[in-house]
């Protein structure tokens, strides 16, 4: 199997840049890491994130963009710079894996999608739940009619962040809805499509004097029901309560917690499938296999780069999703 020569641009303090680079290292039978580049003074800003890159060559941006042997790039900068650097990579006709959801500018994101579409290069985004086995199965079942007509989706992704992280959310309109709520919007949109109306309800809790929107919520109105995404950075035990409930006319499926830690640091999901029409009925719990968040994601990306698999998330899907995220953020 041909190895893919790949480089990484950037990392960040609060997202998945180091996780992705470590994943590339783990999958050395698939990827050959040519090197990395830290833009925007990242080495000075994030000194405690540098160890993962030791032993690999630090490159200039031009060395990555103009090396014809590098066919793929992971763009993992801080969120506000994602589209900026992904667009540079796209203009050099390289395949892209980019951290979600993209930068803050819709016109720049539209230009990025226009460029990758014109080039026919892979554009793959870091929505990790796309590769969760129970979530993937639920989306497939919902779209196939297995659950009947979808009435509503309730999606929550909460956590307890320290003050400095919650204040950092001020970097983008919508705060938590932009940072983590985008994962939930991706799931809702993939199942129900474009809503009739979006009602953003993002708030600042004021906790510790933070003035960012650290409580994110958005309502999505559909013809026969209402769905919501809720994401809080100020919820004790929030990680444990992350959940997805898809309510259909034939059955309701609940995933909770969306992720929990098992042996070796791998993650699993718990599922309840409710079909009974009785007022009270026992529902057995199912537990997924243990998975790594990133291995399936990057292995799938490699298959797309080699032409062995078509990207299920089209260019147009990614653009419409980004627009929906921005709308849910109040823009």
d(CA 116, CA 92): 10
CA dihedral of residues 220, 223, 226, 231 (deg, nearest 10): -20
Query: In the 8-state DSSP scheme, what is residue 178?
Result: I
Q: What is the pLDDT of residue 1?
A: 76
Task: Return the residue matching tokens 């790039």.
Answer: 73
User: Do 276 and 180 form a contact (C-beta atoms < 8 A)?
Assistant: no
Residues 6 or more apart in contact with residue 317 via CB below 8 angstroms? none
Sign of the torsion angle spanned by Cα atoms 103, 105, 106, 112: negative
Q: Where are the domains of the chain?
A: 4-126+295-312, 133-287
133-287 has the same fold as 4-126+295-312:
no
Half-sphere CA count of 237, side-chain side, radius 13 A: 3
Residue-level pLDDT, tens digit, the chain, 331 residues: 789 999 999 999 999 999 999 999 999 999 999 999 999 999 999 999 999 999 999 999 999 999 999 999 999 999 999 999 999 999 999 999 999 999 999 999 999 999 999 999 999 999 999 999 999 999 999 999 999 999 999 999 999 999 999 999 999 999 999 999 999 999 999 999 999 999 999 999 999 999 999 999 999 999 999 999 999 999 999 999 999 999 999 999 999 999 999 999 899 999 999 999 999 989 999 999 999 999 999 999 999 999 999 999 999 999 999 999 999 999 9
Q: What is the pLDDT of residue 2?
A: 84
The phi and psi torsions of 213 (rounded to 5 degrees) equal -80, 85
- When the candidates are 1.10.10.10, 3.40.50.720, 2.30.140.10, 3.90.420.10, the CATH number that belongs to 4-126+295-312 is 3.40.50.720
d(CA 172, CA 282): 44
Residues 6 or more apart in contact with residue 132 via CB below 8 angstroms? 258, 259, 269, 288, 291
Q: What is the pLDDT of residue 323?
A: 98
- Find, among 177, 220, 219, the residue nearest to 196 by Cα: 220
The architecture CATH gives domain 133-287: 2-Layer Sandwich (3.30)
CA dihedral of residues 57, 60, 65, 70 (deg, nearest 10): -10
């Amino acid at each position: 199997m041909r190895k893919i020569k790949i480089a990484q641009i950037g990392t960040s303090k609060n997202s998945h840049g180091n996780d992705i680079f470590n994943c590339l290292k783990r999958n050395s039978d698939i990827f050959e890491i040519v090197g990395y580049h830290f833009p925007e003074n990242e080495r000075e800003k994030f000194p405690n994130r540098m160890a993962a890159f030791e032993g690999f060559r630090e490159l200039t941006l031009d060395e990555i963009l103009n090396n014809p042997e590098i066919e793929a790039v992971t763009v993992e900068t801080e969120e506000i710079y994602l589209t900026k650097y992904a667009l540079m990579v796209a203009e050099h006709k390289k395949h892209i894996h980019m951290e979600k959801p993209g930068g803050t500018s819709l016109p720049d994101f539209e230009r990025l999608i226009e460029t990758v579409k014109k080039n026919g290069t892979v554009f793959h985004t870091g929505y990790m739940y796309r590769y969760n086995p129970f979530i993937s199965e639920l989306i497939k079942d919902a779209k196939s009619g297995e659950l009947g007509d979808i009435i509503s989706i309730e999606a929550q992704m909460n956590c307890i962040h320290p003050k400095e992280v919650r204040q950092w959310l001020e970097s983008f309109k919508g705060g938590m809805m932009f940072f983590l709520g985008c994962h939930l919007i991706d799931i809702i949109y993939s199942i129900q499509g474009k809503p009739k109306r979006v009602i953003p309800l993002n708030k600042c809790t004021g906790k510790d004097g933070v003035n960012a929107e650290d409580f994110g919520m958005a309502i999505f109105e559909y013809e026969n029901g209402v769905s919501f995404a809720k994401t809080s950075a100020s919820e004790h035990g929030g990680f444990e309560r992350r959940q997805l409930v898809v309510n259909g006319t034939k059955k309701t499926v609940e995933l909770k917690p969306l992720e929990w830690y098992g042996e070796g640091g791998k993650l699993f999901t718990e599922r309840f499938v409710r079909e009974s029409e009785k007022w009270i009925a026992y529902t057995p719990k199912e537990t997924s296999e243990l998975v790594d968040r990133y291995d399936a994601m990057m292995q799938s990306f490699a298959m797309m780069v080699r032409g062995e698999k078509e990207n299920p998330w089209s260019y147009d899907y990614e653009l419409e999703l980004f627009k929906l995220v921005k709308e849910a953020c109040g823009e």
